[in-house]
């Protein structure tokens, strides 16, 4: 086959005009400018917008706009999130000092009775003013740490070691929160302290630790005795009150019975007295006979009649045929 008659293959050429290239570049730049003009602020955030490096405004959650080309820049700040800063330890489990690395340079303190103690604590806070948080203080975290450590050292240094480890923990937490908030407001950090929580408080090894263990045992024994006393109180006192109420009811019933009986006797005596005053002889004889009948019936014949001069007696039992 003769290849001399075949035509050479010509490369395909795309004829793109410079105007088309220019429009493509303009379109790409326009899209990039439009996309860079929007930014999203999360529901838990506020954004601080800078224009030419200076503060311009603060915007809330949602889709927001800004001038592109670096003229305006946004910095999102989490204002609805409670943040935690730990002292004396670090680690993934920030809420628990049992995990992570210890930082004794933060936690070792001198108490009021000149004992060394290892205090670990956490500070939880929220950012309330994004502008102050971003621009008022240069080293935010170090400032927060320095203030917290200073206040905690002051509070622990005013108390004996056993008080720090036992009865004064809550007081230290409350006063530390108040004092920290005052200092943060003074420095204009723009944050609100949510809580200060003491974690591990470890005494030094030796006599102080032994004394602390003795105190803990004494406190446990005291709580146990208190609980036992409360249990016994709840068992005995209601029973005693019930018995007292029962006795009071019985006494009230007996008193009412005696009063009614006495009133009846008084009324009967008054009626007899009226009849007696009307006819003394007849009434006296009747009362005498009724009394003798009552005596004879109640004593079942075990009665001996004696005259008034004690000269003669009459055994009624023998007369009625009873045993001698």
Looking at the fold, whether 195 and 241 belong to one and the same domain comes out as no
The structure tokens listed for 125 are 């806070």
What single-letter DSSP state applies at residue 279? -
Q: Please state, rounded to an integer, the average pLDDT across all residues of the chain.
A: 82
Looking at the fold, whether 139 and 232 belong to one and the same domain comes out as no
Q: How many residues does the chain have?
A: 324
C-alpha distances (whole Å) from 99 to each of 93, 198, 200, 207 are 6, 16, 12, 27
37 within 8 A of 65, measured Cβ to Cβ: yes
C-alpha distances (whole Å) from 287 to each of 215, 262, 292, 308, 310 are 84, 20, 9, 19, 23
Looking at the fold, whether 102 and 159 belong to one and the same domain comes out as yes
* Band of pLDDT at residue 98, cut at 50, 70 and 90: very low
pLDDT digits (tens, 9 = 90+) for 6-17: 566 555 555 667
Q: Which run of H or of E encompasses 280? A: helix 280-298
Looking at the fold, whether 103 and 120 belong to one and the same domain comes out as yes
- Cβ–Cβ contacts within 10 Å for residue 87, how many? 21
Last residue of a domain, one of 204, 236, 258: 204
Tell me how many domains the chain contains.
Answer: 4
Looking at the fold, whether 171 and 133 belong to one and the same domain comes out as yes
Least confident residue range of 86-100, 116-130, 239-253, 268-282: 86-100
pLDDT digits (tens, 9 = 90+) for 162-202: 888 888 999 999 999 999 999 999 999 999 999 999 998 88
Looking at the fold, whether 106 and 160 belong to one and the same domain comes out as yes
Least confident residue range of 53-57, 175-179, 219-223, 290-294: 290-294
Last residue of a domain, one of 77, 95, 122: 77
Question: Does 12 map to a domain?
Answer: no
Work out the average pLDDT over 267-277.
Answer: 78
Last residue of a domain, one of 204, 232, 260: 204
Work out the average pLDDT over 217-229.
Answer: 88
Question: Does 284 map to a domain?
Answer: no
Question: Does 244 map to a domain?
Answer: yes
Percentage, residues of the chain above pLDDT 90:
37
- The residues, ordered by sequence, that sit 6+ positions from 303 with a Cβ below 8 Å of its Cβ are 295, 296, 316, 317
pLDDT of residue 31: 76
Question: Does 287 map to a domain?
Answer: no
**What's the alpha-carbon Rg for the chain, to the nearest Å?**
52
Looking at the fold, whether 64 and 133 belong to one and the same domain comes out as no
Looking at the fold, whether 146 and 58 belong to one and the same domain comes out as no
Work out the average pLDDT over 291-316.
Answer: 63
- For residue 196, give the CATH number of its domain: 3.30.479.30
pLDDT of residue 173: 95
Asked whether residue 28 carries a pLDDT value surpassing 70, the answer given is yes
pLDDT of residue 165: 84
Question: Does 246 map to a domain?
Answer: yes
Question: Does 249 map to a domain?
Answer: yes
What single-letter DSSP state applies at residue 263? H
Asked whether residue 257 carries a pLDDT value surpassing 70, the answer given is yes
Mutual orientation of helices 207-278 and 280-298 as an angle, nearest 10°? 130
Looking at the fold, whether 145 and 164 belong to one and the same domain comes out as yes
Question: Does 5 map to a domain?
Answer: no
Looking at the fold, whether 96 and 156 belong to one and the same domain comes out as yes
Question: Does 183 map to a domain?
Answer: yes
Interatomic CA distance for residues 53 and 33, integer angstroms? 19
Interatomic CA distance for residues 284 and 290, integer angstroms? 10
C-alpha distances (whole Å) from 58 to each of 47, 55, 128, 129, 191 are 6, 9, 12, 10, 16
59 within 8 A of 53, measured Cβ to Cβ: no
Looking at the fold, whether 88 and 108 belong to one and the same domain comes out as yes
Question: Could you list the residue range(s) of the whole structural domain that residue 67 is in?
Answer: 18-77
Closest CA to 118 of 81, 148, 145, 156: 156
Q: How far is CA 85 from the centre of its chain?
A: 24
Looking at the fold, whether 89 and 68 belong to one and the same domain comes out as no
pLDDT of residue 61: 93
* Band of pLDDT at residue 24, cut at 50, 70 and 90: confident
pLDDT digits (tens, 9 = 90+) for 124-150: 999 999 999 999 888 889 999 999 999
């Amino acid at each position: 086959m003769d290849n001399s008659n075949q035509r050479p293959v010509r490369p395909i050429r795309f004829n793109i005009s410079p105007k088309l290239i220019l429009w493509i570049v303009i379109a790409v730049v326009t899209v990039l400018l439009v996309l860079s003009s929007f930014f999203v602020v999360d529901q838990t955030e506020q954004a601080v917008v800078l224009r030419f490096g200076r503060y311009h405004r603060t915007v809330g959650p949602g889709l927001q706009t800004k001038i592109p080309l670096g003229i305006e820049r946004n910095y999102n700040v989490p204002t609805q999130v409670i943040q935690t800063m730990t002292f004396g330890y670090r680690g993934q489990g920030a809420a628990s000092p049992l995990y992570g690395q210890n930082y004794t340079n933060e936690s070792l303190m001198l108490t009021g009775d000149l004992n060394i103690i290892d205090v670990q604590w956490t500070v939880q806070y929220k950012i309330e003013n994004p502008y102050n948080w971003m621009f008022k203080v240069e080293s935010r975290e170090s400032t927060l740490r320095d203030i917290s450590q200073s206040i905690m050292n002051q509070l622990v240094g005013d108390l004996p070691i056993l008080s720090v480890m036992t009865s004064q923990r809550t007081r230290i937490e409350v006063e530390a929160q108040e004092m920290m908030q005052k200092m943060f407001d003074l420095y204009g950090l723009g944050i609100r302290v949510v809580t200060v929580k003491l974690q591990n408080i470890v005494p030094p090894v030796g006599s102080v630790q032994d004394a602390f263990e003795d105190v803990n045992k004494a406190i446990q024994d005291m709580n146990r005795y208190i609980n036992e006393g409360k249990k016994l109180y709840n068992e005995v006192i209601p029973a005693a009150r019930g018995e007292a109420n029962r006795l009071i009811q019985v006494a009230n019933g007996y008193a009412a019975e005696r009063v009614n009986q006495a009133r009846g006797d008084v009324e009967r005596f008054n009626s007899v007295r009226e009849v007696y005053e009307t006819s003394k002889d007849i009434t006296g004889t009747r009362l005498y006979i009724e009394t003798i009948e009552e005596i004879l019936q109640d004593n079942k014949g075990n009665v001996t009649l004696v005259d008034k001069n004690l000269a003669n007696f009459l055994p009624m039992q023998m007369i009625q045929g009873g045993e001698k």
